[in-house]
Amino acid sequence: DTTQQPPYLVGLNPSQIEAVTQPSQTITRVIAGPGSGKTRVLTCRIVHLLQQDPRIRILGVTFTKKAAGEMQKRVESLLREQDAMHHDPYGDMNSFLVQTEDSTGDPSYSAPPRDLHRVSLGTFHSICSKILRWNGALLSGLPSVAFDMQYSQNATQLDQNFAIIDQSDQVRIIRELMNAKKGDISEEIKPLVILTAIAQIKQQLAQGENPFASGGRNKDKPPSFVSKLALEFYPKYREELLATNCLDFDDLIYMTRELLMEYPHIRAQLHQRWSHILVDEFQDTSRIQMDLVKLLTSGSLLVVGDADQSIYSWRGAHASSLMDFEEELEGHPSGKMKTVYLMENYRSTSNIVKAAQKVISSSQESKSKSAADKIRQEMKPKRGSGPSPRVVACADAKAEAEFVVDIIKERLRSGDCDSTKDVALIYRTNAQSRALEEACVKASLPYVIFGSATSFYKRQEIKDTLCFLRWINNGYDKSSMLRAMVTPKRGIGDAALNEFDAFCSESQIQWKDKSTDPGPSPLDVLLSLSGPTRFDEKMFFDPTGILSSRSLKPLSAFSQQIRSICDEARRKPVEKLLAIIESELKLFEHFDKISKSKSEFLERKANFEELQNAARKYTDEGPALGKPNGEANDSELSTPLGNFLDDVALVTDVLDAAKDGDNDSFVVKLMTIHASKGMEFETVFLVGNEDGTLPTAQAILEGEGSVQLEEEKRLCYVAMTRAKTELLMTWRKEVPIFTKEGIRTVKKTRSRFLDVLVKKADSEAVKGEKGERNNEKKATGTSHVFQKKSSASDPITLGQGRRQYSTFQSAQAKSRQALNSSQRSRKLYDFDSRLP
Ligand code: ATP
Ligand code: MG
């Protein structure tokens, strides 16, 4: 009887309900394909458990921060429904109190549901870093750390203020070590490869093996040059980290595991804190993370996953944690075990489900996975058939990007907005985003990049700094000025700002009496408070009667402070200018103040340095800010600072549009396959489906049936199964490669994974190349060649709607026009580095 059901169970199918409502001491495993509602089950189970007992506290582990955020929202709204159902006077009281407290703030504010505080959600990394900080005093005493410290001369105490370094820091450390050995190391060897080998060393150490004794990873094979190098660098790398109170991502996991193994009382505390554990995307849990889950579990445990979506074996994940789960947890004190299979796919249309199943079923591994196979074969698409997925050949990366953007624009134009609202462009490697970004910028399509380190220019410290630079560059920029004057805080309050504003207007009026040029900018007016300006003695305004003495003091002090900056701005390159701004305005101190932790501070500092790095590229072109005492309006001069700020504006505008737009406005979402995990989109463009990209050249070298190639296939499967309604897969017939001699292009062939979809269409692709019309459609896929060369008389027709894409020619013309700006923006993207 559904009327009796709690709201969080409404709409779930019987298997889902079974998984959600398992008794609270059960260890449950849910195995099911993409889009079957695994994440939904996990979310509902959290809400269900909270209802069982007010003492229950829950830890939910997700794979990305974004997933954690989304789950938090979901849980919150389910709890709200629950609260609404159980009218509870204390609950109301609570929300009433909080609401009154906040009554001065956001009018849309409503109190969080009562039970929300009993749920912690995060990634393995974020949870571990919390646990380590809580137990900061014990860190140095951990056996592995104590061992490393013995050999590390500069090691200080490791404490709870440790900073977490990311991959770019790791690379920096390794690069320094490599530079010290210059000459001995071929340039072919990349720091990342060494880091992977170091990660393996850590893994071995954590499992009680001694890689130093065996001299390398594999006992049977002789150690490779890289693994020897890694063994040599490892102690130095550790020392560098320990000397600076830093941990890398792996350390977070390994040390937490060690902490829990060493100290039973901490384990007990954590069992107290979190009585129930739930883990999403369990197929990507590493051996060590599995240990952690076991150590943390005291009450119930729910894991959900899909072996076919396991895509992190390079990081030590093994789908067997999902498949051998029962053996793993055999004899665990907390109760009985249960496996639930989900058989319905709620996400994708049946055409997409079929195509994705074809791709993954050709998998070697899957043949042995009988349970998983069973699910795939029996997986029932719950949605209609929908349009067929399509495969499109493109001349090169530019054509590919333009094709994608063109389709999106066409849809927007034709008002076919429902399917365009939710568009994802998914690619194998980060580098592929650049062409897509450029095409989006050219076509004025707002876009966002998912994943970490995306919105560089949106970070607080960067925005503040840019604001200051903009004001220095253009003294008339009032909105930048208003922000720059009060950040960092320097005793200039609202009253002083108002008075200063009045003073500026007054000075302008005074000036206009004397001359016809645009007159002093607010910046000049401010400078006039502490001495002569670029107008020399000609300009002096008397603040008496306008500025009160209380305002005059901080304003004059600020004027004095920026005086030297403005002087230098006329001579120094941007990068140096930034250094001067930092030291004059004590920006690092400011960053420290606005940071909640040392790691946050270090991140802000690193971002500032990255901005300097970015500015460096703008100094080669000449002196900053034109001539000394530059005439009239600085902003009219084309200077490196001006160019730099222009390019930054180009990118930030797009980001602004994306961010500030309400939910209804259209934004293209760009991401790697890895970042797309667990998400879903109405329309998915999977780009770069050629051998050498997906699968990677490395995986192809390993050969048919190899672990690497199988993983690439699963990546393809994950990407395809993100699509709800429409799936387009493009590939590039030509790809540039970068060598020491310069850029070359190499011919590519369509990804082998798509052979099962478009075998027959191969000939069509060739036809298309010869200029014949090419619009054949296949049962599960269509192949087209999309070339820039096509002339207006030969419009390209694409699939389904047979829409004519003659608009493409005009797009080409536009793109040629935009070439200049695109070259400028390319320069900009170079430094906007993005991590997976
Ligand atoms: P993935 O393996 O890709 O992470 P998943 O198994 O976690 O997929 P979910 O993301 O939980 O799948 O669900 C996919 C979609 O199906 C979501 O939009 C979800 O709301 C919807 N869904 C799940 N269960 C049901 C159901 N019983 N009825 C209707 N829609 C459902
Ligand atoms: Mg999921």
pLDDT at 518: 60
Q: For residue 718, give the ligand nearest its CA.
A: 1
| CA distances (Å), origin 296, targets 166, 267, 303 | 26, 7, 13
* Residue closest by Cα to atom 1 of ligand 1: 34
Ligand 1 neighbour 520 (Cβ under 6 A)? no
**Pocket perturbation via mutation, ligand 1, pick of 346, 357, 383 by most ligand atoms within 8 A of CB:** 346
Distance (angstroms) between ligand 1 centre and the Cα of 202 equals 36
* pLDDT score, position 824: 31
- Atom 11 of ligand 1, residue of closest alpha carbon: 37
- Which H helix or E strand runs over 466? helix 460-473
Residue nearest to atom 27 of ligand 1 (CA): 12
The structure's pTM equals: 0.68
Q: Is the CB of 799 under 6 A from ligand 1?
A: no
Dihedral sign from CA coordinates of 139, 142, 148, 154? positive
Distance between CA 24 and CA 22 in Å, rounded?
6
**Residue 36 annotated in ligand binding:** yes
- CA 654 to centroid of chain Cα atoms: 17
Letter string b/e over residues 197-236, b meaning 16 or more CB atoms within 10 A of that residue's CB: bbbbbbbebbeeeebeeeebbeeeeebeebbebbbebbeb
Is the beta carbon of 37 within 6 A of some atom in ligand 1? yes
3-state SS, 231-283, equals HHHHHHHHHHHHHCCEECHHHHHHHHHHHHHHCHHHHHHHHHHCCEEEECCHH
Q: Check pocket membership of 346 for ligand 1, CB cut-off 6 A.
A: yes
Task: Burial-class residue 155 by CB neighbours within 10 Å (0-12, 13-18, 19+).
Answer: buried
**Could you tell me if the CB of 112 is within 6 A of ligand 1?**
no
Residue 41 Cα to ligand 2 midpoint, Å, equals 9
Q: Is 38 in the pocket of ligand 1 (CB under 6 A)?
A: yes
Spell out where 546-701 has E strands.
667-672, 681-686
Report the atom number in ligand 1 closest to the C-alpha of 12. Answer: 27
State in Å: Cα 39 to ligand 2 middle.
4
Ligand at shortest distance from the CA of 9: 1
| Residue 623 preceded by cis peptide, ω within 30 | no
Q: How far is the CA of 306 from the centre of ligand 2 (A)?
A: 9
Write down the pLDDT at residue 341.
Answer: 93
Tell me whether residue 37 is annotated as binding. Answer: yes
Tell me how far the alpha carbon of residue 35 lies from the centroid of ligand 2, in angstroms. Answer: 7
Residues near 35 by Cβ (< 8 Å), separated by ≥ 6? 345, 346, 347, 348, 353, 680, 721
780 Cα–ligand 2 center, Å: 25
The ligand that comes nearest to the alpha carbon of residue 45 is 1
Q: Which of 8, 15, 40, 45 to mutate to test the pocket of ligand 1 (most atoms within 8 A of CB)?
A: 40
CB of 358 shorter than 6 A to ligand 1: no
Beta strands in 562-694 (DSSP E): 667-672, 681-686
Closest CA to 409 of 682, 811, 744, 18: 811
Contact 387, 725 (CB under 8 A): yes
Q: Which two tokens stand for residue 111?
A: 């109190």
Ligand 1 touching residue 480 (CB < 6 A):
no
Residue nearest to atom 26 of ligand 1 (CA): 12
Decide if 669 contacts 450 (C-beta within 8 A).
yes
Question: Beta strands of 592-662 (E only): which ranges?
Answer: none
Best residue among 10, 31, 36 to mutate for probing ligand 1's pocket (most ligand atoms within 8 Å of CB) is 36
How far, in Å, CA of 524 to CA of 476, rounded? Answer: 9
Contact 618, 643 (CB under 8 A): yes
Atom of ligand 1 nearest to the CA of 41: 11
Q: CA-to-CA distance for 304 and 41, rounded, in angstroms?
A: 9
| Minimum CA distance residue for ligand 1 atom 19 | 37
Regarding the beta carbon of 284 and ligand 1, being less than 6 Å apart is answered no
Q: Are 308 and 330 in contact (CB under 8 A)?
A: no
What is the C-alpha end-to-end distance of the chain, expressed in Å?
47
556 marked as binding residue? no
678 lines ligand 1 (CB under 6 A): yes
Q: Write down the pLDDT at residue 14.
A: 96
34 assigned to a ligand binding site: yes
- Distance between Cα 67 and ligand 1 center (Å): 14
- ipTM, two decimals, is 0.99
Ligand 1 pocket mutation, candidates 10, 18, 29, 39, criterion most atoms within 8 A of CB: 39
- Strand pairing partners for 447? 668
Q: Which residue of 12, 70, 347 sits with most ligand 1 atoms within 8 Å of its CB, as the best mutation to test the pocket?
A: 347
Q: Is 64 in the pocket of ligand 1 (CB under 6 A)?
A: no
Ligand 1 contact, 11 CB (< 6 A): yes
Establish whether 771 is an annotated binding residue. no
Measured in Å, residue 281 CA sits from the centre of ligand 2 at: 7
Amino acid present at 345 = N
Residue 381, ligand 1, Cβ within 6 A = no
Which has the closest alpha carbon to 521: 462, 562, 573?
562
Closest to 528 (Cα-Cα) out of 466, 578, 479, 475: 475
Q: How far is the CA of 37 from the centre of ligand 1 (A)?
A: 3
35 CB within 6 A, ligand 1: yes
Q: Which atom of ligand 1 is nearest to the CA of 16?
A: 27
Cα angle value 530/531/535 (rounded, 5°): 125
Q: Is 661 annotated for ligand binding?
A: no
Q: Is the CB of 13 under 6 A from ligand 1?
A: yes
Residue 40 Cβ inside 6 Å of ligand 1? The answer reads yes
The candidate with the shortest Cα–Cα distance to 711, out of 691, 728, 696, 723, is 696
Smallest CA-to-CA distance from 836 within 453, 492, 517 is with 453
Helix (H, G, I), strand (E, B) or coil at 704: coil
Task: Name the residue with the closest Cα to ligand 1, atom 4.
Answer: 678
The secondary element (H helix, E strand) that includes residue 784 is strand 783-786
Residue 379 burial (CB count, 10 A): 22
Residue nearest to atom 30 of ligand 1 (CA): 346
Query: Quick one: which atom of ligand 1 is closest to the CA of 678?
Result: 4
Residue pair 603/644 in contact (Cβ under 8 Å)? The answer is no
Ligand 1 lined by 347 (C-beta under 6 Å): yes
In angstroms, what is the span from residue 347 Cα to ligand 1's centroid? Answer: 6
Report residue 690 as tokens. 């050629």
Residues 461 and 581: their CA atoms lie apart, in Å, by 13
Residues in Cβ contact with 24 at an 8 Å cutoff, skipping those fewer than 6 apart: 49, 52, 53, 56, 276, 299, 300
CA of 34 to the centre of ligand 2 (A): 7
What are the angstrom distances between the C-alpha of 771 and each of 734, 740, 774, 789, 803? Answer: 18, 36, 8, 9, 18
| Parallel, antiparallel or unpaired: strands 723-732 and 681-686 | parallel
Q: How far is CA 810 from the centre of its chain?
A: 34
Ligand nearest to the CA of 722: 1
Q: Are 118 and 50 in contact, with CB atoms under 8 Å apart?
A: yes
Does the annotation list 32 as a binding residue? yes
Does the C-beta of 20 come closer than 6 Å to ligand 1? no
Low-confidence ranges of the chain (pLDDT < 50): 91-104, 216-217, 366-367, 452-455, 513, 620-638, 653-663, 761-782, 788-836
Tokens of 185: 């190391």
Alpha helices in 9-119 (DSSP H): 14-20, 38-52, 65-85, 89-101
The confidence score (pLDDT) of residue 340 equals: 93
Confirm or deny that 11 is annotated as ligand binding: no
With a 6 Å cutoff on the Cβ, whether 269 touches ligand 1 is no
| CA–CA gap between residue 565 and residue 559 (Å, rounded) | 10
User: Which ligand lies nearest to the CA atom of residue 41 in the structure?
Assistant: 1
Nearest-CA neighbor of 391 among 677, 780, 683, 790? 780
